[in-house]
Structure 1
Amino acid sequence: MAITSQRAAFLQLVLSQMHEPYRWGAKGQRASPDGPRIFDCSGLVTWAFHQVGGKDWRATHNTDRLWAECAPVARAADLLPGDLVLYGRAGDPDHVMVHMGAGVVVGASGGGSKTLTLEDAARVDAKVKAFARAEYRPDILGFRRLPFAS
């Protein structure tokens, strides 16, 4: 499968949000009119997907919905840049990252349900960041593919 223009734009947009702060439940809104965008893990995915012409899932999709509604990818070897890596316990995903290629994943990470303010995020280094290996967390549930149109 080729890397499509929509997929490439999605990847570029995700990368352009590097170092933006994490806040539980945030879907790309700005902290203030001139402030940074803020995200949680599924918020980054759904915001970026919408920005490149995908469905606006920001109000309805979290990691559970991404797991249930996006097409499964059978093996890590089949991942394309822009595919999703989901983490959690069997049947209960609680975190999502975007596969960039060569095992690298990017996403809003380091927070959790107690990260409710920008001060909380700064204290625990919760932000959009990269990890050199998808296995930075040992609880990988599986992989999913967003429904890119082009």
Structure 2
Amino acid sequence: MSHTAHIRSHRKPRRSASKIAMRAGVAGGVLGTLAVTGASASSASAAEPVTQTLELPTLTADLAAQVAQSADATQQAAANYQLQAERDAAAAKAAKQAKADLAEAKKKAEAEAEAEKQKAAEAARKAAAERASRAAARTTLTASVSAASSSGAGAGASASVSTGGSTATGSVAAVISFVKAQVGKAYVSGATGPSAYDCSGLVQTAFKQVGVSLPRVSQDQSTAGTQVSLSNLQPGDILYWGGAGSAYHVAVYVGDGMFVGAQNPSTGVVERPLSYDPPSGAVRVL
């Protein structure tokens, strides 16, 4: 036996034809699969659309200014809305206050109208009472004069005064004698004698001597009797200056175109002709 008969060969054992064929088939299948996959990939790549990348604009200084301006505009609009709301609220409040003021003014006007109505009614009652009082005074005067004439007594019954063209007697003479006796005395506002008078105080006191009660002030004395024309004056008539019911001065006509009155603080009680200060009108109570 040869010595080399038991030495193993270093060659690899030959593979069987069947194994080789099987491996070749597997490799071919793999290569085929890869080929199909590659073709599919290529086909897919060819069919897929190209995606375009868009770049966002960069926030520049102009764009930032526009954004800030828009924010300011929004804030201003909000402020305007708030201001308008405040104005609307103020207008509503003012309208409500005006309505309340109108109601108050209407109420006040109604109260004043009622007060004026009551005042007018009171004035009418007072005027009626004064007329009744004057009528009663004239009645009393007539009765007094008649009694004095019949008895031959009294201050006016025995008095007589010459008035130029005629002689005043009775109560008229007494009034004229009294006012002439006061000439030269002082004028003092509000005085009724015996040492000083104002114009209506002298007239009131003179007629009081014969029992005739006259109102205290010139305005009332100018309506105390019957209105007479200045062209038809008689001694004892009361002269007045100003309107009837609103006279500011009075005196006594003493006849012969003369009157006696308490004129002012400078002259006191004086006797003057009618031409010195022509009167506005006259009333007769005797």
Which residue is 2:200 aligned to? Answer: 42
Give 1 or 2: higher helix fraction: 2
Pair 1:142 & 2:268 matched? no
CA distance in 1, matches of 2:254, 2:175: 11
Q: Once the 2 structures are TM-superposed, how far is the Cα of residue 96 of structure 1 from its aligned partner? A: 0.7
Provide the aligned length of Structure 1 versus Structure 2.
Answer: 120
Q: How do 1:20-99 and structure 2 match up within 5 A?
A: 20-29=185-194, 37-55=195-213, 57=214, 60-73=215-228, 75-89=229-243, 92-99=246-253
Pair 1:129 & 2:261 matched? no
- The runs of 5 or more residues in structure 2 that have no matched partner are 1-166
Pair 1:7 & 2:172 matched? yes
C-alpha deviations, 1:107-141, integer Å up to 9, x for none?
Answer: 101x2xxxxxxxxx3xx23x110112x24225x32
Q: Once the 2 structures are TM-superposed, how far is the Cα of residue 83 of structure 1 from its aligned partner? A: 0.6
Q: Name the aligned partner's letter for residue 270 of structure 2.
A: K
Q: Once the 2 structures are TM-superposed, how far is the Cα of residue 77 of structure 1 from its aligned partner? A: 2.3
CA distance in 1, matches of 2:171, 2:254: 14
Q: Once the 2 structures are TM-superposed, how far is the Cα of residue 86 of structure 1 from its aligned partner? A: 0.5
TM-score, structure 2 as length reference:
0.39
Aligned-pair identity in percent equals 34
Q: Once the 2 structures are TM-superposed, how far is the Cα of residue 70 of structure 1 from its aligned partner? A: 1.6
Task: Quickly say closer, same or farther: Cα 1:84–1:45, change in 2 above 3 A.
Answer: same
Structure with higher RCO (Cα < 8 A, 6+ apart):
1
CA RMSD of aligned residues (A): 2.0
C-alpha deviations, 1:43-91, integer Å up to 9, x for none?
Answer: 1010011122222x4xx42111111222111x22211111111102575
TM-score, structure 1 as length reference:
0.71
Q: Which runs of 4+ in 1 moved over 6 A?
A: none
SS of 1:27 mapped into structure 2: coil
